Every structure is written in C-alpha cells, then in structure tokens.
A = this chain, B = another copy of it.
C-alpha cells in the first residue's frame, strides 16, 4: 500500500522548502547563472534530478523565490500606514523594511541584482514595473493624506530614499548605523498631523 497522502505531501513540502532556501543562499552569492543545478541540489541535500520533480526548471526556482519576495513588499506600507504623521510614517516604513531585510537579506540581495537586467526580467515574467507603480501610488496617497505638498514628487523621493538606504544596509552587512540613518532620514519629514480634513468632511 502506498505511503499515506499526508506523509507524501509533507515530504514534498519539506524538499521544496529546502531547495528554495538553498537557492536564496547560492543565487544571492554567486548569481543565478553562477549557481549550477548540481550545486543547488547539493546545498539542498537532495539528488540533482529530484529538483525537477518540484520545479519545472532552474529558472522556475528563481521565479518562485522572487514571487515570494514581491508579496513581502506591501507589508512595509501596511505597517507604516497606521502612523498619523509623515515623519512617523517614514520611520515606521524604514524600520519595517529593516526587519524585512534582516529576515530575508539574501533574497533581497538577489532581487537587487536582478532588477536592472530587462531581458532577464522579461523571461521571468515578473510584473515588476506594475508592482512598483502600485507601490508608488500607495506612497503618494499616504503622503497626501498626511498633508505633504507635491505628494507625487515626494513619493518618488521617499521611494528612492528607502530603496537607497535598504541597499546600503544590506551591503554593509552588520556595521551600519541604521537607527541613526533612519532618524536622520525621517527628520526631513513633517512631524505634525494634517488638519483633519479628508474627502468626507468638506463643508
């Protein structure tokens, strides 16, 4: 009689997870092309062939990885959106980003490396541009609601700042005075809540 369906399912999940974890580690260090499937399988502790029972191709592993990273992004905004003032918003967003980076440092390093290769991105069919657009929209809206003038431009600047700080933080790998930098960055934004006018309460 076969293994129980449950046992099988657990087995599959475990292996899949090991592959993904090995992939983050190796891809982020040696690059996607610099990581052979054999090396990947070895790091995951499985036979090379088995990888293809879980992923269609080496590329599919990368795609799975990046997709999981893309859903993570929105969280920083969700966290920040609870703050009333622009300054707190920025602070929280940066702190949330740092938490994220601490958890998934390698995954993000990988993403940063991929971002600037259009043909590669196209092959992976990741909706990156679309995601960034949505992110910017939400940023602009958040800043407008907190009384920031020129929220479109300011959103771009904030995005760039968060992105820049994040990359520096990831790159310095430990010895980066992130708290102080966050404080300095946030101090550039107004600490006062906007006068309580929203769409709804116009006279």
Q: Using a CB–CB distance below 8 Å, which chain A residues touch chain B?
A: 2, 28-34, 47, 109-110, 112-120, 150, 152-154, 156-157, 159-165, 167-168, 170-171, 176-177, 180-181, 184-185, 188
A34 to B122, CA, bound (A): 13
Min CB distance A111 to B, Å, is 9
Contacts of A112 in B (CB 8 A): 112, 115-116
Min CB distance A131 to B, Å, is 12
Q: B156 touching A181 by the CB < 8 A rule?
A: yes
Min CB distance A25 to B, Å, is 11
Copies held by the complex: 4
Contacts of A188 in B (CB 8 A): 188
Contacts of A152 in B (CB 8 A): 177
Contacts of A150 in B (CB 8 A): 180, 184
Chain B: which residue is nearest A30 at the CB level? Answer: B119
